[in-house]
């Protein structure tokens, strides 16, 4: 008698999970095609950089960045609410329409494995863009940076860092054409072509999810728009003191490898006053940067390299 053992599958964190089905792959594949179509063929956006996620840890770090970006969005959203309600917070900018950005225009929970999230930045959100979907059982391969330089609307200046699935690498193998198989092999061996092969034929799956329906607020036709999607409300954070930098101070940013930057404090004379856990802006920073600010030795090395002899220690 033959004994059939159930296949064991794991998510990107190496936790036991349900196996991703062909249907799951098609959801991510169809969505990835739309993301590429929007940014790669949009005359308003210029690609600045493409960073390959080469190791398992880099993929895990990518999902940590997505989690931290949600925390940052929540904290920044609460600051914006306070400005809308009349508080004077000089470093907090509102969208051009003067309104806050609803949570479900940035992040929507689907199920234990999948979620919608626009990008790693949330200063300007182009809600005309397709809503990216992520599945923690399927690893994205690259993080692309784009900048909107040519539009004449509220999205001019939009800087986008978005983790992307390369469509041909997640398309079910039996649906690949011979040319797609060649490109897929090249990509998985480390070669990323300048133009990603995109199939014009799409097979739209019909996901089956059990939760209260909610549709992302996007003009894009979502690959899961017929599914039941559950919205996760924002976390209510403790209120912290808002610290106003003194007149004449200089803002200092931590520059990332993807071309963006995070405001992490300011110079008082020649001394650096970092954001502290008692400051509300501290909680708009990603966790890795908060950990960095808590390490004075590494922080001072960074500042001396960045500012040279101008830097004269940490402001106490």
Could you tell me whether strands 114-117 and 250-255 are parallel, antiparallel, or unpaired per DSSP bridges?
Answer: unpaired
The runs of H, that is alpha helices, within 125-170 are 167-170
Domain end among 165, 188, 211: 188
Verify that 34 and 180 share a domain, yes or no.
Answer: yes
- Residue range 163-190, pLDDT digits in tens: 999 888 888 888 888 888 888 888 877 6
pLDDT digits (tens, 9 = 90+) for 82-141: 888 888 877 677 777 778 888 888 999 888 899 999 888 777 788 889 999 999 999 999
CA 275, 280, 283, 284 dihedral sign is: negative
Dump pLDDT digits (tens) for 207-240: 444 333 334 444 444 444 333 333 333 333 344 4
The kind and range of the H/E element at 40 are helix 22-40
Query: Is the domain of 259 the same as that of 172?
Result: no
Which pLDDT score, from 0 to 100, does residue 239 have? Answer: 47
- C-alpha separations of 126 from 106, 155, 160, 219, 307 in Å: 10, 6, 9, 10, 34
Task: Please indicate, yes or no, if residue 15 is contained in any of the structural domains.
Answer: yes
What's the DSSP call for residue 223?
A: T
73 and 158, same structural domain? yes
Place of tokens 């863009």: 129
End of a domain among 188, 212, 235? 188
For 190, the 3-state DSSP assignment is coil
Q: DSSP character for 314? A: B
> Residue 199 above 50 pLDDT?
no
Say yes or no to pLDDT of 253 above 70: yes
Domain check: are 158 and 296 in the same one?
no
**Statement to judge: residues 142 and 285 lie in one domain:** no
Rounded CA-CA distance 142/54 in Å is: 9
264 and 184 within one domain: no
The residue range of the domain holding 293 is 250-310
Statement to judge: residues 278 and 178 lie in one domain: no
Within-domain flag for 234: no
Name the domain count of the chain.
2
Point out the domain boundary residue: 173, 188, 203: 188
Contact between 26 and 205 (Cβ < 8 Å) = yes
Global pTM reads: 0.64
Looking at residue 242, what is its pLDDT? 54
**Would 259 be classed as within a structural domain?**
yes
């Amino acid at each position: 008698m033959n004994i059939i053992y159930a296949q064991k599958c794991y998510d990107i964190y190496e936790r036991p999970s349900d196996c991703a089905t062909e249907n799951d792959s098609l959801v991510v594949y169809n969505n990835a095609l739309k993301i590429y179509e929007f940014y790669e063929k949009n005359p308003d956006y210029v690609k600045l950089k493409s960073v390959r996620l080469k190791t398992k840890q880099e993929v895990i770090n990518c999902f940590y960045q997505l989690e931290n970006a949600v925390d940052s969005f929540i904290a920044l959203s609460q600051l914006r609410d306070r400005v809308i309600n009349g508080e004077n917070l000089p470093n907090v900018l509102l969208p051009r329409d003067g309104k806050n950005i609803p949570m479900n225009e940035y992040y929507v929970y689907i199920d234990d494995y999948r979620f919608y999230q626009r990008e790693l930045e949330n200063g300007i959100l182009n809600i005309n863009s397709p809503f990216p979907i992520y599945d923690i059982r399927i690893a994205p391969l690259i993080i692309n940076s784009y900048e909107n330089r040519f539009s004449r609307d509220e999205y001019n200046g939009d800087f986008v860092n978005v983790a992307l699935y390369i469509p041909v690498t997640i398309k079910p193998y039996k649906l690949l054409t011979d040319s797609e198989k060649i490109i897929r092999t090249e990509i998985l061996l480390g070669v990323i072509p300048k133009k990603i092969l995109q199939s014009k034929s799409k097979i739209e799956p019909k996901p089956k999810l059990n939760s209260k329906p909610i549709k992302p607020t996007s003009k894009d036709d979502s690959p899961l728009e017929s599914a039941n999607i559950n919205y996760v409300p924002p976390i209510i954070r403790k209120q912290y003191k808002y610290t106003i930098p003194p007149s004449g101070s200089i803002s200092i940013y931590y520059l990332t490898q993807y071309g963006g930057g995070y405001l992490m404090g300011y110079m008082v004379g020649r001394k650096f006053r970092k954001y502290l856990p008692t400051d509300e802006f501290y909680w708009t920073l990603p966790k890795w940067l908060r950990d960095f600010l808590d390490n004075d030795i590494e922080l001072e090395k960074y500042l001396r390299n960045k500012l040279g002899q101008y830097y004269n220690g940490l402001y106490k």
